[in-house]
Structure 1
Amino acid sequence: MFVLITYDVNITSPHGAKRLRNVARACIDYGKRVQNSVFECILTEAQLVMLRNKLNTIIDSEQDSIRFYILGKNWKNKVDTIGKNDGIDFSGELII
């Protein structure tokens, strides 16, 4: 399934910058960064659960937030881009 992950980490708090880096590193393992705090990922349900659990251990739930937009398998009909498009192209070969 296609999942869009967005996050907002409070970097003004102690250890905030470290949490921000760790959230980005965790997301890089599962998808592609398309904007500063936005990742596009193709995940199985198991991978989504693992990533959610990993991110939940990184963030401070009282200061930070992460949103998962699950667009499913027909995501091409739901994504529209204006301007530079750094999204994932799944029409070609995908090597993991």
Structure 2
Amino acid sequence: MELLITYDVDTTTPEGERRLRRVAKICEGIGHRVQKSVFEVVCTPPQRLHLEAHLQATIDPTLDSVRIYHLDRGTFHTAKHLGAAIDAAHHDPLII
């Protein structure tokens, strides 16, 4: 499955800055960063459940927002990039 993950973490406190770093690391562990707070992810349904559980346990639901969009298979290959866009290799091994 293909997912587009976006997030907005409140960073007005040191705790918020730590949450932001943790959310970014979680997303970096499974997907490709295409903008500062936007990741493209190719994963299996169990991986998605694990990802959602990690994110839910990390964010402050009263201050932070994470959006996960489930996309049709092949959407990333048909995306049109303008400007200094990153062409993420979604089906290559992800090296961390």
Partner of 1:32: 32
SS of structure 1 residue aligned to 2:12: coil
Q: TM-score, normalised by structure 1?
A: 0.87
**Candidates 88, 92, 95, aligned match of 1:94:** 92
Amino acid at match of 2:16: G
1:16 CA drift (Å): 0.2
How far apart, in 2, do the equivalents of 1:55 and 1:3 lie?
Answer: 14
Paired AA for residue 2 in structure 2? F
Deviation at 1:82, TM superposition (A): 1.1
Determine the C-alpha separation between the residues in 1 that align with 2:72 and 2:30. Answer: 16
Unaligned segments of structure 2, at least 5 residues: none
Gaps of 5+ in 1: none
Give distance in 1, aligned partners of 2:32 and 2:84.
15
Are positions 1:54 and 2:54 aligned together? yes
Q: Which residue in 2 is equivalent to 1:6?
A: 6
**Conserved? CA contact 1:40–1:87, under 8 Å:** no
Distance 2:49 2:72 in 1: 15
Q: When the two structures are superposed, what TM-score results if normalisation uses the length of structure 2?
A: 0.87
* CA distance in 2 between partners of 1:53 and 1:69 (Å): 16
3-state SS, counterpart of residue 15 of structure 1: helix
User: Which portions of structure 1, spanning 4 or more consecutive aligned residues, are displaced by more than 2 angstroms?
Assistant: none
- SS of equivalent residue, structure 2 residue 3: strand
Aligned residues between the structures: 93
Fraction of identical pairs, as percent: 39
CA RMSD of aligned residues (A): 1.6
